[in-house]
Amino acid sequence: MRQRLVAGNWKMHGSLPGNQTLLEAAAATAGRLREAKCVLCVPFPYLAQVQGALMVTRAAWGAQNVSHHPKGAFTGEVSAAMLREFGCTYVIVGHSERRSLYGEDDSTVSLKAAAVLAEGMRPIVCVGETLSQREAGDTEQVIGNQLEAVMDRIGVQGLRKSVVAYEPVWAIGTGRTASPEQAQAVHAFIRSSVAQQSRETADALPILYGGSVKASNAVGLFEMPDIDGGLIGGASLDAAEFSAICLAADHKTVERA
């Protein structure tokens, strides 16, 4: 059975006192999950706090970005080995905000995925098309290219330890989510692209949906056969919403089993 997971992406939000509520809720929720995994991807400065709060719980945590260099004169950057020291087990790479605001291209994203794997952590590789690309009928082409760059770099072996997140750019933070059917079509495309190299890897690969997921639309999305959980931005900052989304993913796992 494929691992189901729900990863919260706090983006550039949080404060030391404010995080406490979210961490306590995540710890409690993770303890109630039978199969699904709950992951929090937080800003770098909070990793020590998160590690302290979640260490003895069933929740996992990670970062939202990483340098593809192992070390050196790269002012302002953070290496995969540093993230590992703070107990991270997941790292988001290639989020569309990194791609569009910080100029990360497919090649850089693939190097970052490789750096994460080299430290024994799991990259959450984000792919997704813009609205104009979708309207031009280029969705599969765009996602195929994004995926191929990563697969070429890390190979099927690397993909076996990775997670893919499909996040249509037009659905991120807009309140406009892809319909379960729209998302399922792209998830099936991603899985079949991986299957061309390895059926076994494709069958085992968790593919998350991200883009305006809320407790109210999570169930419909998680019912789809190729949607294995979510990457949650805004709703991960609301303890009750995030907990409900995690539980929705878990119920679907138990139903599928």
Binding site for ligand PGA (CB under 6 A): 9, 167, 172-173, 210-213, 231-235
Residue 196 Cβ vs ligand PGA, minimum distance, rounded to whole Å: 27
Both structure tokens of 8: 């919260």
What dihedral angle (degrees, nearest 10) is formed by the CA atoms of 182, 184, 188, 190? 70
CB of 201 or CB of 224, closer to ligand PGA: 224
Q: Is 187 a catalytic residue?
A: no
Measured at CB, which residue is nearest to ligand PGA? 233
Query: Taking the complex as a whole, how short is the minimal distance between the CB of residue 176 and ligand PGA, in angstroms?
Result: 9
Rounded Cα distance, 186 and 208, in Å: 11
Least CB distance to ligand PGA at residue 24 (A):
21
Q: What is the spatial distance between Cα 157 and Cα 113, in angstroms, rounded to a whole number? A: 12
Nearer to ligand PGA, 221 or 247 (CB): 221
Length of the chain: 257
CB of 199 to ligand PGA, least distance (A): 29
Q: How far is CA 168 from CA 54, 79, 149, 230, 251, in A?
A: 30, 28, 18, 13, 25
Active-site annotation holder among 95, 97, 104, 241: 95
- The helix/strand/coil state of 112 is helix
Beta carbon nearer to ligand PGA, 154 or 178:
178
Beta carbon nearer to ligand PGA, 88 or 201: 88
167 included as an active-site residue: yes
Per-residue exposure over 136-162, b if at least 16 CB sit within 10 Å of its own CB, e if not? eeebeebbeebbebbbebbeeebbebb
Catalytic residue among 97, 104, 129, 167: 167
- Which residues are tagged catalytic? 95, 167
